[in-house]
């Protein structure tokens, strides 16, 4: 059961377009908008999770994964230090100014 709501404001042209498209597809405006938005969201996220490589690109990618880890000067210290997400870190930055 759906329990969440999303409210949208549209202009007259957008509403007319959505009404026409939903009528042609045989859906309500809500079902049409929800379906189109959900599909668009899934496609956008898939671009960030799924990628395809040809044989040459795969070989290079696989080779990079197989290489032993190496120490990069300064990286260990950078990752061990406080970040902007740490509590009290924002206060430290304010004190620096």
DSSP string, 24-66: HHT--HHHHHHHHHHHHHHHHHHHHH-----HHHHHHHHHHHH
Instruction: State the pLDDT at residue 96.
Output: 54
pLDDT digits over 27-82, tens only? Answer: 999 999 999 999 999 988 987 877 789 999 999 999 999 999 989 989 988 988 89
Instruction: For 28, list phi and psi in degrees, rounded to 5.
Output: -75, 165
What CA–CA distance (Å, rounded) separates 7 from 89? Answer: 36
Q: Which pLDDT value is given to residue 91?
A: 55
pLDDT of 84 > 60? The answer is yes
Residues 6+ apart with CB under 8 A from 27: 35
pLDDT at 37: 96
- Of 7, 4, 1, 2, which is closest to residue 33 (Cα–Cα)? 7
Measured CA to CA, the distance from residue 77 to residue 79 in angstroms comes to: 5
**pTM of the predicted structure, to 2 decimals:** 0.51
Phi, psi of 19 (to 5 degrees): -65, -45
């Amino acid at each position: 059961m759906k329990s969440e709501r999303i409210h949208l404001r549209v202009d007259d042209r957008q509403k007319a377009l959505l009404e026409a498209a939903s009528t042609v597809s045989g859906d309500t405006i809500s079902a049409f908008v929800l379906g189109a938005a959900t599909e668009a969201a899934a496609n956008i996220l898939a671009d960030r999770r799924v990628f395809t490589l040809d044989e040459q690109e795969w070989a290079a990618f696989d080779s990079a994964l197989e290489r032993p880890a190496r120490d990069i000067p300064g990286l260990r210290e950078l990752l061990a230090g406080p970040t902007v997400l740490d509590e009290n870190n924002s206060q430290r930055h304010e004190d620096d100014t």
